[in-house]
Structures are given as C-alpha cells and as structure tokens.
Chain A
C-alpha cells in the first residue's frame, strides 16, 4: 500500500483506456486535459468520483475518464446527479453538459439543479452551436446566426447562461475559456472545492461548425480590449496595459481610462457581492457592436448555502431520532387492527 501511495498521481491516472473521438482541434481536448490534471492535483480517488453527462459532443466526456461514469439522456444530467447525490453524498460528482443540453432540452432541470444547490461541479461547454447533430444553431447562438437550420439567420434572442444561473440563485458562477488553460485550471479547482452546485461556463471552440466563435475573446489582437479577467479583491481592469477600468455609475457599469479616475472609484471585485454579481453577469454585449463592455471571465459569484442532499439526510436523521429506529412490523400493522378468532 505504501508503494501505491508513494507513486505520484498524474493526469494520466484519470484517463480511461478508450480512444478520445472528438474532432481533431476541438476545444474539448483542452478541457479534458485540464480536468484530468485538476483531478490529479486534488488527488481524487478514482473509485469515489463520478462523471455524469447528458447528450452532445461534450457529453462523451465520461467515457474518457478513469472514474465511475454515466452518459445519460439529452438534457437530463441534473436529474441523475440529484438522485445520485441524494443517496450518495459521499461521492465526488461532476456533470458535463453543453449549451444545447443544458439550455434547450434540459433548461428546466438545469435551473432546478442550481436552485436546489446539489453539491456537484457543472462544466457547461458552450460552443454556441449544435455539433453532434452537425451544425444547427443553439440557444446561445448570436441573433442572425446562419446555420443549416437557419439559412436566413436565426431570429431568437440568445440566452445569457450566467444571468440565467444568477436568476436561478446559483451559488457558484464562473466563466473560463478552452484556449486559456492557465485560467481554466484555478477556476476548476475553486469550483471543485465549492460546497454546492458550481457552474463553470467554458467557452469552447467548435472548429468544424462554429470555428472562431470566441476568437474575439481568445486571440491576441482582440482579447485585451474585449475581455476582463476578474479576481476577488482586485479592481476591474482590462486593456493591453490594464489601462482601462470599469466603474459603477449608480447601477450602470462604465468603461473609463484608469488615469481619469480616483482609486476610490474603482470597482473592486467581490465574489460574495450578490448585487454586483447580478450586474457583472449582465456584461453580455455583442462584441460586434461599438462601445460594448468587455466580456468577464473568472469567478463571478460565490455564496454559502445549505446543500440539498444534506437537507434531505437531516430530515431522515431527525425522524429517526424522533420516532426511533424503524420497526417494519409496526408499519405493517398500521394504526388500527382487529383480530378474528
């Protein structure tokens, strides 16, 4: 046993023997690698860890993890997770989902998982497209999106996933990018440590059906002016030289030059601030438009709230205490019996 312990745990210990079958160049590879690496860093016990997914490209994820896993039904991941965690709070459970899985077919389960605050890490791979069905627009596709199913452009207004999560009172809300593994890694670590439902939206490039959807936020030229990486306790600064800042004018966020404002006016990111988090998740301007706010990344919000499965267990414990250990014969007998002689 000592030998086993001495061996350093690496990301490879979390890779299953199955060939990974995503398209070459898919953003999913980077996420898989980071998750395996985070598992190693946390030294998660393979046998006590479970990955559960719905349907879609991202949802093949569990097959590639050397842990317990379940590839379930389209959009229903949250329900499987809730059932499992309710009876097995001891397990470390991760849920892998996509924008179609979570926000279209599974939208209902998604919001209920968040409000219940089941202790699970949710990684939502958002590529703003349906990949596995070969290229239809998704509920996060930008308006006017030309796809196979919308040859004249999509009409519907897209979801803002994090604002939706905030509306559902999620207790951990974060966003990161497949092309920024250095950013992804600490976010995943924090998400896994959070007690409750941790939602991490990951912008993920589908190089086949929606290539470059997030290039504005990932490529060298455009990234500095269009993104803002929030850190707890630090001011909201962005730009190549961090020369720009966000300040709040009442409840309205404004972009200013850092040199034009007093330090006291700066918006210092506080991930526990409910009101400011509600404003931050609303930084969702279309980057194609002029004067838009930068897209934030990092941990937007975190809150401690009792987890669902603990509440369920507490009721059971309370009733055992009040009524004593169960006696099946008493139950079978019921409150009123009569005897025939």
Chain B
C-alpha cells in the first residue's frame, strides 16, 4: 500500500497553497499557450523556466523543484486543453497535436455547435488526463524498480534507444533528424568534462567552461525561432472567429462521445509512453481508428463529434503517458519532456528511477498536482471558454515583441551574461532556418539534455570493461535495447524504400 501512502504525501504537498497557486498559474498559462497560435507547448515551457526559477527562488531546493515542475508540467498539459480552442473556432490549430481536431471541430463550429465541440474536448481531455495519471501511478513503482537495476551499459543503450526513436519519427528526413541529434550531443560536449575535469572546446573563453546553457538554446530555438517565423511569413493576420454559442453538450453528444473518449485515452496513453511518438501521432491515430470503426464513416469531416472527442482525449492522454518514461527511466520521449527534464536538472533533481527513492516529494507531488491541475482545467475550460476565446484576439503586434522581451528577460535573469543573450538570438535565427528546411529541433534539444548522461554512462561502462565495446552487447538487456534502437531506425527506412507512406511526428 506504499503507493497510496506516497500519493497521499504527494497530495499533501500539492495541496499546499503555494503549490496550488503554481499549478493554477501553470494550467492557466498553458491554456493560453495552447490557444495562441504562434507559441506551442515547447516554447511555452522553455519560456517559463526562468520565470519559475525566480518565483521559486525563496524556497529550499527540494520544494522549489516541486513547485517549478508543477507549474511547468501544468503548462504542458494545459496546452493540450487549449490547443483545441483555435482548431474549433478558427480552423487554425494552436499546436500540432490539435491539427486533426480542425477537421470536424471547425465544421461543428460552422453548424453553430462550437460550444458543444469545445466542452466535449474539455471533458475528453479531462477523462483522458485522469486515466493516464492512474496508469502512471500504477506503472511508476514497478518501472522504476526495474530501472534501478540497470547498470551503466543498460542506461547507455536505453538512452540511445530514446534518441533513435525520436530521430526515427521526427520530421520528413531521417538523415536530417539524426544530424540534429548528433549536433545536440556535440554541443553538449562543450565545456568542462565532468568526469576528468578537462576543458573541451573552450579555447580559453571562461564563459564556455560551464558549457552552453540548455535553457538559452531551448528558448532561442523554439520561442524566438517561432517569433521570427511568424514575422517573416506575416502569419499575424487574424482570421474570422466562430461564435461559441451554447457551451453544454447535449445528452446525445455525450453518449456519442463516450466510446471515442475511452478509446482515445487508452490509445493515447500507450502512444505517449513510447519515446518519439507524441501527442500529435496519438491524435492522428485515434482519429483514423474512430473513422474505421464508425458505422457511418461518411460523417467524419462534416462535424462528427466523435472526430473531436477522440483526438482531443488522445493528445491529452499522450502527454500524461510521456511523463512515464521521463519520471521512471529519465528518458524524455519528446521535445517538451526533454525541456521538462532540463528544468529538473537545473534544480539538481535527476529524473529517473532514483527520483522516486531520492525525491519522492517531487515525483509524487507532481503526480498529485496533475490530478488537481486537470480538475482546474476542466473548470477553466467549461464556463470560461468564452474568455479564452477572447485571447485569440490578442493583437500579435504586441505579442511578438513581448515574447522576445520575455525571452531576453528570462535568459538574463538566470544567466546574467550578455553572451547568453547573443547566443539566444543566434539560436533564434538558427531555429527559424532549420525548421524552415525540415531540420527538426526536438532531437537537438534531446541530444543536448541526454548528451552528458549518455557520455557518462558510456565511459563508466567502458571503464568497467577495460575499454571493450562489446560490453554493450554482452548484457542481454542492453543488447535488446540496442536492437530495438536499430530496428526503430531501419524499419521506417525499409518501409519507405518499399514505397509505403510513413507517418511522422511533426513536432510534439
């Protein structure tokens, strides 16, 4: 019954008034991030890291980490709720995991059923959120107990598997994704080597000894890159917004959506657990499945409520599922979870099997806060959905420069150097040009976060084996991870060669 005890402790920590406040701020900003088209969950979380760092400055390290991660995770799943709003009202997805919601959501809005679509997606997200949390609670202990037995060789192979999965599914060209992964790993080697203390690639610039700051690069690539893209493509002219109308769904709507919500939750959770396959893929798959099993597939695309309920449940369940490998194994499966992991490391909290042993208050506090946060989101998104619909009308002329200003403030407030500000802007330019030419950014950030850990585990394993690389194949579990990693890269390649279309994850 220790799980229940831990969960109870988690609730007592999550229910402290300041943590309630942090969760509330998180989900509120998350919803706004989801609603605003120019800014996705990745840049939203990255932008808020420095803000939370200052907000939690007065607390002791462990509870500061708890509060910070509660807020940041709130932004992550809050964005999944908010993303549907623009899809339905504006036919423009607020973030990539809500792309399929536009198909039926916007049609419903045109038929005057926008309110029902919005509330069904909130209800579906809530049900899915609670389901994936329960699954997370059940899986957390056994998985971390298993992972705690891993040695450095197993860890090295598992992290390679994570990288391979993300590179295999990210973007249109696997070569480009792999290049970005290696680039992230290479950037991570700059600075003081933390095994031997040798300075690498620093060329006597004192500023480089600490390495390139993860935060600066993530905010630059995602937040500034997005702003530059919006400016260059003149994407800031607002379209026509549909009226919300009656918010509560009818009994018939609820009945039609129950099945899709349940299926979307289960499917979304398991897709979310897989590294590399995130919320976007989950929403696509659940939509396709609903269409396949429907008695009347012709109504999809013409305002079927099932076509809103299923993908919106799936993307929220996937964001819960993505927390499983992050918290129990320390392997982020997507760009956003990589950023969450970077944030935890900034607080000296290492996600992974030891998290539940060393910092149970962080892990369980976060899980408990997600229950509360989902409840807050349900309340926020049902009666207040009309207020959020107003956010869409925020003039981008004010929004875009303010995002730049927040990025500059955030980076400076944590790093205190002009060098980081210039690096930030440089990364923004790089981010724009890389995404424009189909170089996915998520693998780079993942490489940057995992780089030092991969290297440490590799060197520890090799030191143990006297430099013999076969140690990674000699251990059965490690060999299995490597095999899966290779398959993950090779199978899509083979499918492509045989002319099959491979579903890829754009950004998640």
User: Are A and B physically bound partners?
Assistant: no
Seen from chain B, the residues whose Cβ lies within 8 Å of a Cβ on chain A are none
Seen from chain A, the residues whose Cβ lies within 8 Å of a Cβ on chain B are none
